[in-house]
Structure 1
Amino acid sequence: MRLQTVKHLLEPVLEPLIRKVVKEEVELALGKHLTGKKWICEKETLALESRNLQLKFLTNLSLPVFTSARIEGDDSQAIRIGLIEPSTGQIVTSGPGSSAKVEIVVIEGDFDSDSHWTVEEFSNNIVREREGKKHLLNGEVFVVLNDGIGVMSEISFTDNSSWTRSRKFRLGARMVDQFDFVKVKEATTESFIVRDHRGELYRKHHPPSLFDEVWRLEKIGKDGAFHKRLDRENIKTVKDFLIQFYLNPPNLRHILGPGMSAKMWEVTVEHAQTCVLNGSVHVYCPLASQKKSGVVFNTVAQVLGMLKEFQYIPTETLTEAEKVQARGMVIAALSHPDEVIMYPDEASLMGELLQNNMVSASNSSAMATSGARNVMVASQNVDGFDYPGATMAGLDIFDLQTLQDSGPVRCSPQAPAAGQYTIEATPQALSDDYHLRYLTNSPNPQCCQSLVLEESQADLQSMLDGFMSQQPLHSDVAVEKAQRRWTKLFSVLKWLSVRKLVALRKTHPQVNSET
């Protein structure tokens, strides 16, 4: 009875207590087990999601951008988008995301693209079209990556950016497809202005062309004050502007007037100087310089250098006075275009100058002999004279009128007692004109006859042979020696002419009375 009494008293109390204790212990043990499993799973998940990739625009936009015009990259290239590994900058060509679909969107121009934005921040800065307008982007706004690279095709803006808070847009790119354990950051371009397509008619060219109208330059508006001022001075193209700038910059600055600030002037000139030239060079040698000096300039009248005695002196080494002189010569060249020689490039000019210098040096060294031979050949063609083998009697190349036109010959007294005269037979006398002048005025030409006849034909032949036997010298003294040989040759020829005339008067006395 006692056992039954204890059983009835303990069962309602002990059983719930025991169950509670067992339950708590089991739950505690199970909780510890599950916590360990969850930590392992989370660790594995974080390892898979640790690969962060990024979209990037691989091509810079060609600016400015106009509505309804295709959005292009530099040099009219299509804009490319790539999937990048940020740590290396390499294109991801395989794996998740390398063949995904990407959406092109419009982002506010003042979006801070340098910050580490979130997906929500990026989405909040997407610009939507104005009410009642078409979608802001027209064309293929979705791009499919191929080996990690996508190419934008025909896409354009339908509205300008003037109505937005920043007055500018950015292009953005974001992933459409999502991948487990891979996070891809969005891409943005630099901010830019989108203008209405009607403004394309007034678009500035970068770089400008030589034959662009002058208002294509920065800070010069079409039909604006600067444009009208330039037009009144007949400065209509970019080439005209550059010519005026290189020849007389103060005058060009004065034409534009005080309304153009120093900063605007600098911007306009820098833009004009980006113009691509054709590389041709022009040479102008004034006639007064006998082609020995001149100026070298390009197609926009910019002085490149000067020519002095066939030597090219670049503008960097010219003095200020020489630069002023060179600009003056260029101005003269523009007034005499028919006297300007054009070369396709500077190398062609340098090659011709080098050739001219070589020819000039060769001609100087060979002038005496080659000149003498040319004279002899010409004489042979006219009078049958030839050398060698010619005799003094064959030198019939001077007519009487030529000798008479030379003027009187001076005669000096030699022997006072004899009362006769004789010609000074010194080398100087042979090279002067005095002996010819004496012949026509002498009161006693017989003295000249006797003296001339005393000169043997062999001596004169020897003198001519000596001249013709000398060879050209290729040295610095070649010119001086050549001049001396020419002087000697002319003296011989004059002397022979005197002899011929004396002989002629001896056989024909009437010639004496005529002279």
Structure 2
Amino acid sequence: MAAKRFHDGYEKDPDQPEAKRMRRLPSFSTVIREAMMQKHLQNLFRLLEPLFRRVVQEELQAGLALSPRYIEKLPQIPPVERPTWKLAFRNPPHPPIFTGSKIEDDNSNPLEVILVDMGIGSPSALPQALRIELVPLFGDFPPDDLEDWAADEFQKGIVKPREGKRPLLTGEVSLTMRDGRATVSELQFTDNSSWVRCRKFRIGVRVVPGSYNSARILEAMTKAFVVRDHRGELYRKHYPPVLGDDVWRLEKIGKGGTFHRKLAQHHVKSIQEFLRLLMVKPDELRAILGDGMTDRMWEATTSHAKTCLPGDKVYAYSGSHGTIYVNSIFNLVKVEFGGVEYPLHQLNKAEASYVQHLMREAYEHRNTLQEADAVLLHSHAANNVTLMHNAAHAAPADPTVWLPGPEVDFQADEVPVPQPNYGFQWPGQMYNMAG
């Protein structure tokens, strides 16, 4: 009897055909296809699972709803109460808002809270006083920009101060509303809004919980805004600026930036100096700022500067044959020839050219001008227009106006003007002086 042969997996089994004994390894593409199919199936199951759960839940609830015993055990949900009244801010806060700074409205007045009848949509009042409180809210409350919310949802939207910090909103946060209004004389944030998820806060106001037992009064809130650290206030722009402000308080001019350095090199350090140069030599000012300031930036900067109030001071400058009166930013107020006042809009070409010459001379001697009677500014307010504007309307076809020689006879409706050989260019051209 032949001995029984034993073999392991590495030996060939003579009883098995060659095709069965040699197994093929799957190809790489097959493995990838199977893995992708398995992943697709898993994603499909994950997407279908919530649908199956909802369908099963709805079917169970529909079946249980037919059971009287189940209906008896259902909690009775009270209907949603529609507020009759709501609180509102009369005017929104004026941005920007910095920590530690007093919050005011768009008119630079204290914030005012009023009571509004939702039925008619107008301010109203209740016979009794209301205790209200101001609270900080997250900038993304309410979700989806809802116009109505429950009292507990409003409570969840209140921002709690960071650990170790003071209350986020301080000042007159608790007020008594009488006759449907309350004024918030003092209010400020103690922390910036950079640490919250939405990076913004709102100011909310509500009736103090438990102090009013009648129909619900809907809470009020402002629009979302950024609260910046008070150190940023050192670099803020002023609206409107004042004459003594540094020139970097203007739009598009950053403190220590390129434009600021260029202006400082030409001794234009204050907004008053900026406006004076703008009124008398706008082309020179534009050249100082250079090509880096685009037309849009120039418009923004000059428009912001022109919101500055010039004040009541009036200065006089006299030439050989006339006197001009200008205000603090060199707006022309009054012109006199031979002691006789001439309306600005009635100046002829030669007179306008001479006045322009006096304006430039007055600008060169601006530090020695004598202050005149301030009443002049008010009595001639209607004529308070710049020389550049007047000259633009009176400009001839040839932009260069040569004053006549000394032997010219003037008509009765003209006044003598000095006759040196000066050449003056009209607005948009450079000013030249020859001789």
State TM-score, norm by structure 2: 0.59
| Equivalent of residue 233 in structure 1, options 262, 266, 284 | 266
> Is the alpha carbon distance of 1:200 and 1:321 closer, same or farther for their aligned partners in structure 2, counting shifts above 3 Å?
farther
Q: Of the candidates 220, 224, 231, which is equivalent to residue 198 of structure 1?
A: 231
Gap change, CA 1:189 and 1:284, over 3 Å in 2: same
Q: Which has the higher contact order (CA 8 A, sep 6+)?
A: 2
- The answer to whether the 8 A contact 1:333-1:340 is kept is no
Of residues 98, 103, 106, the one that matches 1:71 is: 103
Instruction: Report the secondary structure of 1:204's partner residue.
Output: coil
Task: After TM superposition, give the deviation of residue 322 of structure 1 in Å.
Answer: 5.5
2:313 counterpart residue number: 280
1:401-420 map, 5 Å: none
Report SS of the residue matched to 1:100.
Answer: strand
Q: Residue 345 of structure 1 aligns with which residue?
A: 375
Whole-Å separation in 2 of the counterparts to 1:320 and 1:122:
70
Counterpart of 2:252 (choices 187, 198, 219) is 219
CA deviation vs aligned residue, 1:154-194 (integer Å, no higher than 9, x gap): 54222212344554322111223365562322212233331
* Structure 2 equivalent of residue 299 of structure 1: 328
Measured in 2, the distance between the counterparts of 1:319 and 1:163 equals: 65
Of 137, 141, 145, the match for 1:106:
137
Which residue matches 1:362? none
CA contact (8 A) 2:136 2:158 kept: yes
Q: Deviations over 1:304-323 (max 9, x none)?
A: 35334544344445567755
Among candidates 141, 148, 153, match of residue 173 of structure 2? 141
CA contact (8 A) 1:51 1:181 kept: no
Instruction: Trace 1:382-397 onto structure 2 (pairs within 5 A).
Output: none
Instruction: State the Cα distance separating 1:266 from its structure 2 match.
Output: 1.8
Matching residue's letter, 2:96: P
**1:330 maps to which of 355, 359, 362:** 359
Distance 1:286 1:203 in 2: 42
Determine the C-alpha separation between the residues in 2 that align with 1:224 and 1:109.
35
CA deviation after TM superposition for structure 1 residue 208, in Å: 1.6
**Displacement of 1:235:** 0.3
Deviation of the 1:121 alpha carbon:
6.0
2:101 aligns to what SS in structure 1?
A: coil
1:256 matched residue in structure 2: 289
User: 1:241 offset after TM fit, Å?
Assistant: 0.3
Q: Is the 8 A contact 1:141 1:155 kept in 2?
A: yes
Name the CA distance, whole Å, in 2 between partners of 1:99 and 1:110.
24
> Do the aligned partners of residues 336 and 181 (structure 1) sit closer, same or farther apart at CA in structure 2, a change above 3 Å counting?
closer
Distance 1:336 1:241, change over 3 A: closer
For 1:105-124, what per-residue CA distance to the aligned partner results, in whole angstroms no more than 9, with x for missing partners? 32406868975232366556
Coordinate RMSD, CA, aligned = 3.6
Point out the structure with the larger helix share.
1
* 1:99 positional shift: 1.7
Gaps of 5+ in 2: 1-77, 381-411, 413-435
> What one-letter code is carried by the residue in structure 2 that aligns with 1:116?
E
After superposition, the Cα gap between the structure-2 partners of 1:124 and 1:317, relative to the gap in structure 1 and judged at 3 Å, is farther
Could you tell me whether the CA contact under 8 Å between 1:284 and 1:341 is conserved in 2?
no
Kept in 2: contact 1:57–1:81 (CA 8 A): yes
| C-alpha displacement of 1:56 | 1.2
What's 1:170 paired with? 202
Q: How far off is 1:68 after superposition?
A: 2.5
Q: Is the 8 A contact 2:139 2:225 kept in 1?
A: no
CA contact (8 A) 2:327 2:377 kept: no
* Larger Cα-atom Rg: 1
What is the distance in 2 between the residues matched to 1:278 and 1:113?
A: 48
Unaligned runs of 5+ in 1: 1-41, 351-475, 477-515
Where does residue 61 of structure 2 map in the other structure? none
**Partners of 1:76 and 1:348 in 2: CA distance:** 26
Q: Deviations over 1:32-70 (max 9, x none)?
A: xxxxxxxxxx9xx99xx7761110123543433211233
Q: Following the alignment from structure 1 to structure 2, what is the Cα–Cα distance between the partners of residues 175 and 341? A: 57
SS of the aligned residue for 2:130 comes to coil
1:118 to 2:149 alignment: yes
Give the CA deviation at 1:332.
Answer: 1.0
Instruction: Give the letter aligned to residue 242 of structure 2.
Output: S
Q: Which residue of 1 aligns with 2:88?
A: 56
> Could you list the per-position Cα deviations for residues 388-431 of structure 1 after superposition, in whole angstroms to 9, with x for gaps in the alignment?
xxxxxxxxxxxxxxxxxxxxxxxxxxxxxxxxxxxxxxxxxxxx
Q: What is the number of equivalent residue pairs in this alignment?
A: 301
Q: CA deviation at 1:341?
A: 6.0
Query: Deviations along 1:477-511, whole A, 9 cap, x unmatched?
Result: xxxxxxxxxxxxxxxxxxxxxxxxxxxxxxxxxxx
**1:505: which partner in 2?**
none
Judged with a 3 Å threshold, the aligned counterparts in structure 2 of structure 1 residues 153 and 349 are, in CA distance, closer, same or farther, namely closer
User: Residues of 1 paired with 2:142 and 2:296: CA distance?
Assistant: 30
Distance 1:162 1:320 in 2: 60
Partner Cα distance (1:190, 1:320) in 2: 55
Distance 1:205 1:349, change over 3 A: same
| Change beyond 3 A, Cα 1:161–1:100 | same
What is the alpha-carbon distance in structure 2 between the residues aligned to residue 284 and residue 153 of structure 1?
47
Residues 113 and 334 of structure 1: CA distance in aligned 2, closer, same or farther (over 3 Å) = farther
Provide closer, same or farther for how the CA distance between residues 305 and 348 of structure 1 changes in structure 2, counting only shifts above 3 A: closer
TM-score norm. by structure 1 comes to: 0.50
Q: Structure 1's 93 and 205: CA in aligned 2 closer, same or farther, altered over 3 A? A: same
String of CA shifts for 1:251-287, please: whole Å, max 9, x gaps: 1112112222222222221221111222233333312
AA paired with 2:130?
S
SS of residue matched to 2:84:
strand
The one-letter code of the counterpart of 1:105 is P
SS in 2 for 1:200: helix
Q: Which of 102, 108, 123 is residue 90 of structure 1 equivalent to?
A: 123
Q: Cα–Cα, structure 1 residues 243 and 137, in superposed 2: closer, same or farther, change >3 Å? A: same
Change over 3 Å in CA distance of 1:67–1:103 after alignment to 2: closer
CA deviation vs aligned residue, 1:279-309 (integer Å, no higher than 9, x gap): 233333312x2xxx33332221122353345
Q: Secondary structure at the match of 1:243?
A: helix
Over 3 Å counting, the alpha-carbon distance change for 1:159 and 1:348 in structure 2 is closer
Superposition pairs of residues 346-495 of structure 1, within 5 angstroms: 346=376
Give, in whole Å, the separation in 2 of the partners of 1:254 and 1:300.
20
> Hey, what's the Cα distance between the residues in 1 that align with 2:144 and 2:115?
17
